[in-house]
Amino acid sequence: MVQSIAMQQSPRTPLTLYRFLLKCVRKLPEETQKHYKHHVKQAYASHCDETDPQRIQQIIDRAIQDAEWLMKKVLNKKQTLDQCRCLSY
């Protein structure tokens, strides 16, 4: 069974989450990296004043879920494209 992103590198603080998400962005296709990098920075800036530990944990958990969904979507799309390329030869 494939380990989830959270199981591989469990970010526990907002700063480690920020770094983790930027690393995930670098794994995306180049044409989408700028968009998602901007999104990560904006989300961090909009939540940087959050002080409630429970709310911070909710934000971290949701961000990890969203990153997992995005990475699966991109990887599945890439695999599908690779399969189509193989079939066309």
- The predicted structure's pLDDT at residue 81: 53
Is the overall model pTM greater than 0.85, yes or no? no
Strand segments, DSSP code E, in the chain are none
Q: How far apart are CA 62 and CA 44, in angstroms?
A: 13
* Span 22-63, pLDDT tens digits: 999 998 889 999 999 999 999 999 999 999 999 999 999 999
Residue with tokens 């380990």: 3
Contact 26, 33 (CB under 8 A): yes
